[in-house]
């Protein structure tokens, strides 16, 4: 008997979650067009990212990732330590991190969840 009593409540909870998801998706409508060539969102700073971040690999590495500012910063540190990425001037790095954290935040649909930095190859 107990299992049946809980059902309507569970249904209501499920509907709430679905409504929230719809609202979240509506709020994430893209404000900026996407660059046809690189696939980058053309928000402020994108040209800097295109210039600094697509010399070694395609911008798809970026557009398929997501993370908060710290996650993006640790990816940059990892590339600097192990992949030959150069030092970025402070204000360039700030613009790039602002752009990445704003446009590719955690939870945006992406290819897969982030690998934590400690799982990346050294
Ligand atoms: C000097 C070369 C170089 C530059 C410049 C460079 N990267 Fe990378 N990046 C790499 C290499 C090498 C990899 C690893 C490729 C692989 O896994 O095969 C990588 C991987 C990545 C990944 C994938 C990490 C993952 O787990 O999927 C992201 C995201 C990334 N880079 C973002 C950036 C950003 C943002 C910039 C600009 C600040 C940048 N890269 C500039 C060399 C570079």
- Of the listed ranges 17-31, 44-58, 74-88, 102-116, the one predicted with least confidence: 17-31
Is the minimum distance from the CB of 50 to ligand 1 under 6 angstroms?
A: no
pLDDT at 3 over 60: no
Task: Establish whether residue 76 lines the binding site of ligand 1, counting it when its CB lies within 6 angstroms of any ligand atom.
Answer: yes
Stronger pLDDT, 105 or 8, i.e. the higher one: 105
Site to substitute for ligand 1 among 79, 99, 119, most atoms within 8 A of C-beta: 79
Q: At residue 82, does pLDDT exceed 60?
A: yes
Sort 35 into a burial class: Cβ within 10 Å, 0-12 / 13-18 / 19+: middle
Whole-number pLDDT of residue 118: 83
pLDDT confidence bin for 61, thresholds 50/70/90? very high
Percent of the chain with pLDDT over 90: 61
């Amino acid at each position: 008997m107990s299992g049946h009593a809980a059902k309507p409540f569970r249904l209501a909870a499920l509907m709430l979650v679905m409504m929230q998801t719809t609202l979240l998706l509506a709020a994430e409508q893209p404000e900026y067009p996407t660059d046809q060539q690189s696939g980058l969102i053309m928000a402020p700073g994108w040209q800097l990212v295109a210039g600094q971040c697509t010399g070694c690999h395609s911008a798809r590495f970026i557009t398929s990732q997501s993370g908060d500012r710290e996650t993006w910063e640790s990816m940059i540190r990892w590339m600097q330590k192990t992949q030959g990425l150069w030092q970025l001037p402070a204000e360039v790095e700030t613009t790039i991190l602002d752009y990445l954290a704003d446009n590719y935040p955690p939870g945006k649909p992406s290819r897969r969840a982030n690998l934590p930095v400690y799982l990346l190859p050294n």
